[in-house]
Amino acid sequence: MKQPKPFQYLKWSARFLNFGYYLTAFPNFSYWLLRLARPIYVQRETFFNRRIRYAGLILGGGILPPEEIRAYHYGAKAFVDNMKKALKANEQGKPVVWVEWILSSEIVNAFDAVPFNPEALNVFGNLSGQDVPSQLMEKAESAGFATEYCSAIKLTAGAYMLGQTPKPAAIIAGSHPCDTNVAAYQGVRHLTGAPVFFFDSPYWRDEDGFDYYEKNMWRLIDFLEKTLRQKINWDRLKQIVENENKFNFYMQEICEMMRAIPSPATMITPVFAWVVREIAIGDPNGTEMARRMYEVVKNRYEKGIGVVKKENIRVLWWNPPVAFFAYVFKWMEDEFGAVVVKDFIGDVQMPQIDTSSEKTMIRDMAKNHLYLAMARQCHGPVEYILSELEQAIKEYSPDCLIFAGHAGCKHGWGVIGIIKDLLKKRGLPSLFMNMDIMDQRHATEDDIKRWITEFFRSNGFV
């Protein structure tokens, strides 16, 4: 592997997303540019298109309508601002706080510090070519990080070792959704030398569990005040949380409207919004993006219009989406009229946060964090996963389920037998794919296309 220049991939991501921000200010032009250029980039990555293909695909590959592209304009701005702030803070010696992907960065934003998601290059590294995330993971594996670890954390380590992410003044990590997180972040702590705050998630999601997690939130504030030698800005936190409440409302409404037949939304919309949440929750641009997405979907819903001309297959997507092939949702829509109506990550079920006092904010943020994607399903007993799946089958009228079996999700593989029994009782056809959602060394984009195509054909859907 050729040694990249310092911050090469992060800087390229920021520059390209900034270009995307200006391009999407003209959504009709963007739509036709992406549509007319489809033969150049949609089919597969090549030497000539590797620097533009992923961006074109996450913008819908020429089949996402202009009104939704306009919403993405604001999401791109939120990404760019966070990356630029992190790079500038690193240059100027301002504290950068890493916040693991399973958590949320509201409290860090209430300090004079820059929150940074160290797993971000699992997604945005693809802007430099699909092989980049895998190369970063290889670096971590060569240094002793176990190959069995979740690739998200391996990339965190590899990216830092290769000088692609800013040095953290502090790190915030979680004990959920899996043991990999805890084990791997001990290695990350040793690697960076930064102090780490580990959230200790309760097993149950009840009042006692919320009490316990609230204490974690107060401990985090104390940790940051001592580590950063600052006091939390409560007024700033209130403003951030008010933006977050609006964001959650809009996204939850979109997810509810996707129960309609035909579905008025494409799953790439809530998944894109989830990435915005990961990087920049509370940013006004992220909230404006969610509002515009909501207005587009609401308009379709009220008119009874689907996101595809003819909805042939309604799909539940279980486990996280494929980072290096996020276009899979639009590909299924375009190729088969198959619409993913609910998934594991993009689906939002967040309670609103009471901002009337410091106490209520922290209490409700504790609840909020336990309802984040994957935290909601995977911090406790298997019944949390099964009950959500049963509810999805009941409410979203699916024709089938696709399980994206991620190599690092030991808990995900452990529950497969129980899920299969449930699906058999419900008579729901299912596809279980063996892959790594961030590392194409396990299974490629072409493998995924072939598996899904064969599954649809063998079950008579196409």
Residues near 48 by beta carbon (within 8 Å), at least 6 away in sequence? none
β-bridge partners, 198: 173
Token output for 78:
């939120």
Render pLDDT for 415-449 as a digit per residue (tens, 0 to 9): 999 999 999 999 999 999 999 999 999 999 999 99
Q: Mind listing the pLDDT tens digit for each residue in 379-400?
A: 899 999 999 999 999 999 999 9
Strand order in the sheet with 313-318: 338-343, 313-318, 400-406, 430-435
What token pair was written down for 373? 């994607």
Tens digit of each residue's pLDDT, the chain (462 residues): 678 999 999 999 999 999 999 999 999 999 999 999 999 999 999 999 998 999 999 999 999 999 999 999 999 999 999 999 999 999 999 999 999 998 999 999 999 999 999 999 999 999 999 899 999 999 999 999 999 999 999 999 999 999 999 999 999 999 888 777 788 899 999 999 999 999 999 999 999 999 999 999 999 999 999 999 999 999 999 999 999 999 999 999 999 999 999 999 999 999 999 999 999 999 999 999 999 999 999 999 999 999 999 999 999 999 999 999 999 999 999 999 999 999 999 999 999 999 999 999 999 999 999 999 988 998 899 999 999 999 999 999 999 999 999 988 877 888 999 999 999 999 999 999 999 999 999 999 999 999 999 999 999 999
Residue 50's identity, in one-letter code, is R
Q: Write the secondary structure of the chain as one string of H (helix), E (strand) and C (coil).
A: CCCCCCCHHHHHHHHHHHHHHHHCCCHHHHHHHHHHCHHHHCCCCCCCCCCCHHHHHHCCCCCCCHHHHHHHHHHHHHHHHHHHHHHHHHHHCCCEEEECCCCCCHHHHCCCCEEECCCCHHHHHHHHCCCHHHHHHHHHHHCCCCCCCCHHHHHHHHHHHCCCCCCCCEEEEECCCCHHHHHHHHHHHHHHCCCEEEECCCCCCCHHHHHHHHHHHHHHHHHHHHHHCCCCCHHHHHHHHHHHHHHHHHHHHHHHHCCCCCCCCCCHHHHHHHHHHHHHCCCHHHHHHHHHHHHHHHHHHHHCCCCCCCCCEEEEEECCCCHHHCCHHHHHHHHHCEEEEEECCCCCCCCCCCCCCHHHHHHHHHHHHHCCCCHHHHCCCHHHHHHHHHHHHHHHCCCEEEEEEECCCHHHHHCHHHHHHHHHHHCCCEEEEEECCCCCCCCCHHHHHHHHHHHHHHCCCC
- Supply the pTM of this predicted model: 0.96
Q: What is the pLDDT, as a whole number, of residue 1?
A: 61
Fold of 235-458: Rossmann fold (3.40.50)
The reported pLDDT for the residue numbered 182 is 80
Give the pLDDT of residue 177: 81
What are the extents of the domains in the chain?
235-458
What residues have CB less than 8 Å from 211, skipping those under 6 apart? Answer: none
Residue 119 has what pLDDT?
95
What pLDDT, in 10s, does the model give residues 140-157? 999 999 999 999 999 999
pLDDT, tens digit, for every residue of 330-381? 999 999 999 999 999 999 999 999 999 999 999 999 999 999 998 899 889 9
Are the C-beta atoms of residues 403 and 431 closer than 8 Å to each other?
yes
